[in-house]
Amino acid sequence: MNSPEIKAFIRQNSDLFWYIPEEKKEDISLDVLVEFILNFGDMDTVKEMIRIIGIQQVAYHFFHATKLSKRRKSNFNELTLNYFTLLFNKYAPSYTNRKPG
């Protein structure tokens, strides 16, 4: 269940979740939220997401998605995958392989 702040953030960026039915957007998982914001959001949107859920959570969901399968890894474009791998390895290194406490 997403917090009211996350739901408001999703509503503000609703156009990034184009294929999800309007009535289900606020209930998307954090994996989906992170994937779509990192792939399609601008840097201000990425910063806002990090402010709301924390860099450790974002890093965890990013690495979790990329390690699930090659198909999930390919959901991120190559530049996005490289940039955020470097960023999270530098600023959230202890959360690259485990869920934040």
pTM for the whole thing? 0.86
Query: Helix 78-91 and helix 55-68: axis angle, to 10°?
Result: 130
Q: 62-88: per-residue pLDDT in tens?
A: 988 888 666 666 788 889 999 999 999
Q: What is the largest CA-CA distance in the chain?
A: 37
Write the pLDDT tens digit of every residue in 14-57.
999 999 999 999 999 999 999 999 999 999 999 999 999 999 99
- Please report the pLDDT score of residue 65 as a whole number: 85
